[in-house]
Structure 1
Amino acid sequence: MAVVCFIVAGFLVGGVIQLVRSGATKFSVGLVGVLAALAVAGGVAWMLPGGDS
C-alpha cells in the first residue's frame, strides 16, 4: 500500500508542476501540493514498523 501512496504522490507532484506552468491560482497549486505531501506522509507512515501489516 505504501507503493500506491508514493505513486499517487508522484502524479500529484506532476500535477503541481503543470499547474505552476499553466499559471493556475495559488490556491489550486497549494491544494494539490498539500495532497501530495499527505500522500507522501501516508506512504512513509505505512512503511513504519509496529503497524498491523
Structure 2
Amino acid sequence: MAEPFIGTMYAMTAVFAAAVAVWFSIRAYRHSKMVEQEEEVREERTELG
C-alpha cells in the first residue's frame, strides 16, 4: 500500500532536484553575462578616460 506513495515521493523529489539544478544553471548563466557586461563597460571607460 505504501509503495505507490513512496514512488510518488521519489518522483516528486527528482522533479524538485531537476528544477533546482535548472534554476541554479540559469542563475549562473545570468551572473556570468552580467559580469561580462561589467567588464566591457570598464574597458570602454578605460579607453575613454
Larger RCO of the pair (alpha carbons < 8 Å, separation 6+): 1
Larger Rg belongs to: 2
TM-score, normalisation: structure 1: 0.46
TM-score, normalisation: structure 2: 0.49
